[in-house]
Amino acid sequence: MARGVMKQPRFLAAILTLVYLIGGFILFSISLRTAIILFATFTVVLFLEPWTRVAQKYLRVKRSVSLGIGLTVIFVGLITLIVFLTTPLAKEASKFYNIVRDFFPSVEEAQITSFEVNSNIDRMLSQEDFMAALSREEIDSLDLLSKDLKGYYADIMRPVPAGSTSIEKELLTIQESLKDKGNYIIIMSSTERSQASYEELEAITGKYLNVETAAILADNLFNNAMQVQSQELWRDVVAYFMPKNFDPARQQAAYESVRNFLIQVQSSLRDFLPGLLEMVPSLITGTGLIMFFTIVGAIYLSYYFLLVKEYIPKIYPKKVRKVARDFLSDTYKNLERYVISVVLIAIIVGIVVGITVKIMGLKYSLLMGIWAAFTNLIPIVGVPLEIIPLILLAISTQNIWLVLILFVVLAVIHSAAFILFLVFMKGYNRINPVMIILMIVVAGQLFGLFGAIIAVPFAIIIKMLWIHFVTPLMDEN
């Protein structure tokens, strides 16, 4: 029986497909940047192909012309967004981090990061009372003042080498303990930092502000710039939902339990968010490089795509080519429909969320809209990732009704988005939610955030493999 199965064309096609998939996985694993470029190039082509079919059928436009129009629209649009949205987006992200920090408990022993110092500076320079005391010329100079202050604190926060006497003592101790261990290298560092000077701060602020305002700002910076501050808005939320019949002891115990939990969450966020946001400039540079290679790859792949589609089945032996062609055709159709559906819905949700935040009078509508669009590229798991910052933003207003209204609006938006997704995917294979979550977890561990985005396309390929190869073999007598 086993020999009979192994001789079937479907079995050979399945084995070859697995070999090719493993080769593709190895190619993806070489470099995250390479994987992103390959995936982005293929995604652009998936968008272009339906457009070229529509343009040829209804507009009577040649394929080469329609491809040129499509590529121009896609990449000019993306480049325009990157150029014009990068700066305001980075500023909103920096300021929004203060809202996140204000929600969580104050932890005095927490060591402040350079990003948080910069956030403190941005907060002080944008306070309404401070801005109201400035002249037009002083307001125009705030960007330069901010740059000088951040540079000053960046120098302050660099570790200071420990004294030579203490180093000698530590070296002697280490050498004594390692004298029988053979060859070794000792690397020593220090976590000590310099202290800010009020006089130096006043000298910096005095270059841009009047004497009185410069002194006030210098004093504020000296006392608060390197402090991890929080308004602890979580207490208001807990107090609102706390049952009124709780006695003081139970209330205190509830507060402590929530506080301990939030401290753990805060620790994870402080390890992750500042580092991620500090990487924004390098990410922008990397995005430019990825964009360049994606443009080049998409131009060549789109123009030769029909030849590629014709050639790919030929990597299978002739006797299994028909089975392989059916698998490749079905897989391509499902991938095309899924990618287009997810990207379009992500864009729609991002625009609607941004407009909703603006209408509700909340800040950072641009940041929230782009974040919503990005997280909706990740099915199921992306929705909670989208909602959490929005809820923290609403909580920062200390208006519980605004929070509840936002919950309702988000529920309506995502219900409509889910219905729209079902309409787009009608007649095509959909993946079981449990399998989606499992694939996101596995791909996320392998490729990080990028893995979570490509998890479902990989799941579609696996499902098509199962439908076209495994199920028919199992159903045979």
Rg (CA), the chain: 29
CA nearest 63: which of 334, 298, 306?
Answer: 306
> How buried is residue 215: exposed, middle or buried, by Cβ count under 10 Å (0-12/13-18/19+)?
middle
> How large is the angle between the packed helices 63-103 and 365-375, nearest 10 degrees?
120
CA atoms within 13 A on the CB side of 315: 14
Provide the pLDDT for residue 226: 81
**Burial 231-254, CB ≥16 within 10 A → b, else e:** bebbeebbeeeeeeeeeeeeeeeb
Q: How far apart are CA 88 and CA 48, in angstroms?
A: 30
Provide the pLDDT for residue 94: 75
Residue with tokens 């896609």: 74
Provide the pLDDT for residue 173: 66
Q: How far apart are CA 391 and CA 383, in angstroms?
A: 12
Q: How far apart are CA 237 and CA 397, in angstroms?
A: 12
Along the 477 residues of the chain, how does pLDDT read in single tens digits? 556 666 677 888 888 888 988 888 887 777 778 888 888 899 999 889 999 998 988 888 899 899 999 999 988 888 888 778 877 887 788 778 778 878 888 765 556 777 778 878 888 888 888 888 888 898 889 989 988 998 888 888 776 554 445 555 565 666 666 555 555 455 544 445 567 888 899 999 999 999 888 899 999 988 888 877 777 888 888 888 788 788 888 888 888 888 888 888 877 776 666 655 555 555 555 677 788 888 889 999 998 998 988 899 888 888 888 989 999 999 999 999 999 999 999 999 999 999 999 999 998 899 999 999 999 988 888 888 899 899 989 988 888 888 889 999 999 999 999 898 888 887 777 777 888 888 888 888 877 778 888 888 888 998 999 988 888 877 765
Provide the pLDDT for residue 430: 72
Provide the pLDDT for residue 453: 86
For 247, phi and psi rounded to 5 degrees?
-75, 165
CB 10 within 8 A of CB 264: no
**Burial 324-345, CB ≥16 within 10 A → b, else e:** bbebbebbeebbbbbbbbbbeb
Cα four-point dihedral sign 404, 405, 406, 410: positive
Q: What is the pTM of this model?
A: 0.77
